[in-house]
Structure 1
Amino acid sequence: MFKKLAADALGLSDIGKVIDRKDFDKVDADDYVMHEDGEKIYFIIKSKKDEYCFTNLALIHLDGESAISSKRVLKRYSYAAHKISKVYLETAGTVDLDAEIKFHIGEASFSIDVDKRQIEQIKDLYKALIKISEIVSTNDRLLEYAMESVQIAKESVGRFSIQNASPAEQFSAINEAAYNWMKSKHTEHKIKDFGSVFETYINH
């Protein structure tokens, strides 16, 4: 405990700060946001080493090697390709200087210390990440059901022949219908843009 207090007093700790919306364009992560494609920043946590930028499409992580080095490694995790899971919020105790938000995105795990005076903002981020996790899990399940149903339909239709159509034509017609079905369901259930979730929980 005393080491941690000393570290903060000397400015050596790596407790993150939630960046105000008006200062989003002043952080390094802004340079890597795909503004041209409609990507929008909703939440940024910045520490001495790292920046965690949550947009409507992805988490952009500028990973610093140390507080005294300017070197950064840019990592991007799209919500569509990297499922968010195991979201936890650890509030600060009486002598703690920071709260902590933890989550997995794909195979990567994060544990971010944030100034406990900004706990209300972190609660909003926690809600948004939980909601995204729930939406993706539900949609993955619905997509599985859709894929199973089209397979059953293909097998059923295969037992019947289309009048005046050759086997090749029948095969092509069934495959085209199945492809179009799966494509529409993939579009419906594989959400890429979660701006509405952030608008609900962070911009309320």
Structure 2
Amino acid sequence: MGILDGLMGNASEADLNAVAKDLELIITDEERVEKAFKIIRDLIVFTDKRLILIDKQGVTGKKVEYHSIPYRSVTHYSVETAGTFDMDAELKIYISGHSQPLSKQFRKDKSIYDVQRSLAKYVNQ
């Protein structure tokens, strides 16, 4: 991923070995990282058991929030594409028991479809 892509909010596939190493305290011994996308400093990680949304916070990014979502808890998801004058696309993930969806912003590019395709694969297993 180029630095310019990251600053623009474009998602790109992350190195699975590096992500697995970074998450060794979060994932279980029986769990496997299968797909990961990086959006600026944040990550969307698909394991064989759950979806993990990683939100790096603060100036240094040392404060990190991990959202762990079992696939069975995803009730539905939506993709809102960018329009002519609207530069942002948005992925919304609705979780059972929550009234508001988790939302991730993407720039006007095709990467939102890669993330949505992965979500469709894992949620519909």
Fold shared per TM-score above 0.5: yes
Q: Given the alignment, which residue of 90, 93, 114 partners 1:103?
A: 93
Q: Given the alignment, which residue of 74, 78, 84 partners 2:70?
A: 78
Look up the SS of the partner of 1:127 in the other structure: helix
**1:46-98 deviations in whole A, cap 9, x for unaligned?**
22342221212111222222354321123322235xx2123111112234444
Q: Given the alignment, which residue of 123, 127, 130 partners 2:120?
A: 127
Say what the alpha-carbon RMSD is for the aligned residues: 3.0
- Within a 5 Å distance, the mapping from 1:1-204 to structure 2 comes to 11=7, 15-20=9-14, 23-27=15-19, 30-31=23-24, 32-34=26-28, 36-37=29-30, 39-66=31-58, 68-80=60-72, 83-107=73-97, 109-115=101-107, 116-128=109-121, 131=124, 197=125
Identity, in percent, stands at 22
TM-score by length of 2: 0.67
Q: Any gaps of 5 or more consecutive residues in structure 1?
A: 1-7, 132-196, 198-204
Q: Distance in 2 between matches of 1:97 and 1:67?
A: 25
Look up the SS of the partner of 1:52 in the other structure: strand
* Higher RCO structure (Cα 8 Å, ≥6 apart): 2
Alpha-carbon spacing, 1:59–1:119, altered in 2? closer, same or farther (3 Å): closer
**1:77-128 deviations in whole A, cap 9, x for unaligned?**
2235xx2123111112234444221112234531112342324413413533
Q: Distance in 2 between matches of 1:78 and 1:99?
A: 24
* Bigger proportion of residues as strand: 2
Alpha-carbon spacing, 1:77–1:93, altered in 2? closer, same or farther (3 Å): same
- Work out whether residues 11 and 112 of structure 2, in 8 Å CA contact, stay in contact via their aligned partners in 1: no
Number of aligned residue pairs: 116
Q: For the pair shown, which has the larger CA radius of gyration, 1 or 2?
A: 1
- Work out whether residues 54 and 60 of structure 1, in 8 Å CA contact, stay in contact via their aligned partners in 2: yes
* Bigger proportion of residues as helix: 1
Alpha-carbon spacing, 1:72–1:48, altered in 2? closer, same or farther (3 Å): same
Q: Distance in 2 between matches of 1:104 and 1:53?
A: 16
Q: Any gaps of 5 or more consecutive residues in structure 2?
A: none
